[in-house]
Amino acid sequence: MNRQQIIDHYSQNPNLSVLIIGAGINGIGTFRDLALQGVDVLLVDKADFCSGASAASSRQAHGGLRYLEHGEFGLVHESLTERNRLLLNAPHAVELLPTTIPVFSWFSGLLNAPLKFIGLLKRPSERGFIVVKIGMMFYDWFTRKNRVTPTHRMLNREQALARHSKLNPSIIGAATYYDCLMPQAERIGVEQVLECETDTSLAHALNYCSVVTGQGSTVTLKDETSGRTFDVHPKLVINAGGAWIDFVNRAMKRPTRFIGGTKGSHIVVDHPELAAVVNGSSIFFENTDGRLAIFMPFRDKVIIGATDLRCDNPDDAVCSQEEIDYFLKFTDHILPGMQVDPSQIVFHFSGVRPLPFSDVEFVGLVSRDHSIQVTEPDSAIQFPIYSLVGGKWTTFRAFSAETADKALGFLGRSRKVSTQDMPIGGGKNYPRSTEARDTWIKNISHQTGVPVARIADLFERYGTRAEAIARYISGGTDTPIDGLPSYSRREIMFIASQEKVEHVDDLLLRRTWIAILGMVNGSALKAIANTIGETMGWSAEQTRAEIERARTVLTTRNGVPATRLQ
């Protein structure tokens, strides 16, 4: 069903088993899991899919090395297990990422864990060589039975400087190990939504659909694209609003204080010299203020992050000038003499981590683990609310399974299938070897008439979903996008018509990596907007409004210079 049909359906048939509010990755993962069990479920979000904190992570699937000194061994083990599953289940969107940790001392940080255990740690001290080595050993131990990444290595000073020549010469050595990069993390989310709606008639999802209020057995929802409201009567509400969880509960007259979110910001820089120094490996280090920071290769760009600042209102989260100055300053600390000019920043992004409320002074000590907080029904609200607090990208599948199991128990139903080894979207039937990949690309090219080089580009962006896009491209006359020749009109048309796009910025920011890689310009913006408008049946006035909306979002939220979008 299309958007209007979904709204009409619930207007006429308001009873349903589960309403999930919040289409970040935890909400989407729970939606997928329940749908696979045959549960009738509706997923809504006041904005786009994966547009909040899920779009603002460091784009890594990782074990969380620093959680070890917090004593969160279970979280690290779960994270590493789920990291490996993501690499196997979504190989089109998750890839191995070598990582280097520069180390400046031998023994610093040995007391971090015991001091935290007895409640006396206010701010962690620098992690020395011994502490990092112990953490690396745990990393390897946890994955010994399911190893999909190489084991760690400890490097002496000369070896570390040979790998990254511009590192601060004050280091005594470094550790190297592997985690994973998720270049287009948002696609992992949206592809799960699309699969659910394709595979079952019981699961539906609406972006740009907000909660107005809740009372009795009713939740009133508002279609933000038309202003239309409609009521649903769920047996259970799962609040996956992330940093907005307390806001959602308040709208349903259930005031809570579950969330104490912190803002994390990143910048994306076009800096060939820095990219060469990074050398295909992320550099993960501790800044002088105790915060963890990263330089991460991102195709031909580099991502620099991240901050960790308290934020009471997630709607206000945007990368500030102070944060940008902070990034530029710590660059000189770890890579002396390496200058990053503000003009080299092509994009920035920011989001609020949905961490549990805590009054600790140093927010880096707040647990990144996840929990389900239950608000029981009473005379005012006749359904329970499960609020999903905390969590991280890497562990979304496990958190979703835990939530789905709890929901199934409430509904008196049993689990039918597990998502542990279930491929996602363009990861289905994915050719694993270089030879198999080349054969797959040649076969699709032969079947569709689309050139091999073009299929290879589509494969990198969408995995095996490239086949459906190639067949769509071959169904009509295709031309390159003006100002962005690596994309074409029919590729954009496919995404607009098949992937729940409601606004131009949905496509630029979350269905593709056009914006984050600094590829969007005025000509491309207009051409893409016109193509989407033609596909969606927009009027000329609506298309112009969408161009202005995209310009506003990109300039005010993502730091794209307005002059580039004219």
Which token pair is 371? 């929990």
Query: 496 with 347, same domain?
Result: no
Q: What's residue 125's pLDDT? A: 59
The whole-angstrom separation of Cα 102 and Cα 356 is 31
Q: What's residue 120's pLDDT? A: 44
Query: 389 with 318, same domain?
Result: no
Q: What's residue 118's pLDDT? A: 44
Q: Is residue 277 part of a domain?
A: yes
The whole-angstrom separation of Cα 2 and Cα 243 is 29
Q: Is residue 73 part of a domain?
A: no
Q: Of 323, 340, 362, which marks where a domain is finished?
A: 362
Query: 498 with 555, same domain?
Result: yes
Range(s) of the domain holding residue 512: 430-565
| E strand or H helix at 159 | helix 157-163
Which token pair is 148? 């999909």
Query: 159 with 139, same domain?
Result: yes
| Residue partners of 171: CB distance under 8 A and separation at least 6 | 102, 103, 104, 157, 160, 161
| Residue partners of 445: CB distance under 8 A and separation at least 6 | 451, 452, 454, 455, 470
Overall domain count for the chain: 3
pLDDT tens by residue, the chain, 566 residues: 999 999 999 999 999 999 999 999 999 999 999 999 999 999 999 999 999 999 999 999 998 877 776 778 888 899 999 999 999 999 999 999 999 999 988 867 554 554 444 454 555 557 788 888 988 998 899 888 888 888 999 999 999 999 998 999 999 999 999 999 999 999 999 999 999 999 999 999 999 999 999 999 999 999 999 999 999 999 999 999 999 999 999 999 999 999 988 999 999 999 999 999 998 999 998 887 778 899 999 999 999 999 989 888 999 999 999 999 999 988 888 999 899 999 999 999 999 999 888 776 656 556 778 899 999 999 889 999 999 999 899 999 999 999 999 999 999 999 999 999 999 999 999 999 999 999 999 999 999 999 999 999 999 999 999 999 999 999 999 999 999 999 999 999 999 999 999 999 999 999 999 999 999 999 999 999 999 999 999 999 999 999 999 999 999 999 999 999 99
Query: 38 with 155, same domain?
Result: no
Q: Of 411, 446, 481, which marks where a domain is finished?
A: 411
Query: 166 with 289, same domain?
Result: yes
CA distances from 523 to 494, 529, 558, 565 (A): 20, 10, 19, 8
Query: 403 with 447, same domain?
Result: no
Q: Pick from 21, 522, 65: which is nearest to 252 by CA?
A: 21
The whole-angstrom separation of Cα 67 and Cα 79 is 10
Query: 190 with 275, same domain?
Result: no
The whole-angstrom separation of Cα 318 and Cα 349 is 7
Q: How do 218-223 and 229-239 pair as beta strands?
A: antiparallel
Mapping DSSP onto H, E and C, the string for 488-507 reads: EHHHHHHHHHHCCCCCHHHH
CATH number at residue 243: 3.50.50.60
Q: What's residue 362's pLDDT? A: 58
Q: What's residue 115's pLDDT? A: 42
Q: Is residue 77 part of a domain?
A: no
What angle in degrees, to the nearest 10, is found between the helix axes of 452-462 and 466-473?
140
| E strand or H helix at 374 | strand 370-375
Q: What's residue 453's pLDDT? A: 97
CATH number at residue 120: 3.30.9.10
The whole-angstrom separation of Cα 366 and Cα 360 is 7
Q: Is residue 61 part of a domain?
A: no
CA distances from 159 to 97, 102, 151, 275 (A): 19, 11, 17, 19
Query: 481 with 504, same domain?
Result: yes
Q: What's residue 363's pLDDT? A: 63
Q: Is residue 83 part of a domain?
A: no
The pTM assigned to this predicted structure is 0.94
The whole-angstrom separation of Cα 363 and Cα 88 is 33
Query: 556 with 468, same domain?
Result: yes
Q: Is residue 357 part of a domain?
A: yes
CATH number at residue 557: 1.10.8
Q: In 3-state terms, what secondary structure has residue 342?
A: helix
Q: What's residue 117's pLDDT? A: 44
* CB 355, CB 264: distance < 8 Å: no
* CB 41, CB 27: distance < 8 Å: no
Q: What's residue 64's pLDDT? A: 82
Query: 160 with 291, same domain?
Result: yes
Where are any strands of DSSP class E within 254-363? 262-269, 282-286, 292-298, 301-305, 309-310, 345-353
| Residue partners of 118: CB distance under 8 A and separation at least 6 | none
Q: Is residue 132 part of a domain?
A: yes
Q: Is residue 85 part of a domain?
A: no
Query: 389 with 527, same domain?
Result: no
What is the total residue count of the chain?
Answer: 566
Q: Pick from 199, 185, 181: which is nearest to 31 by CA?
A: 199
Which token pair is 39? 């549960």
Q: What's residue 122's pLDDT? A: 54
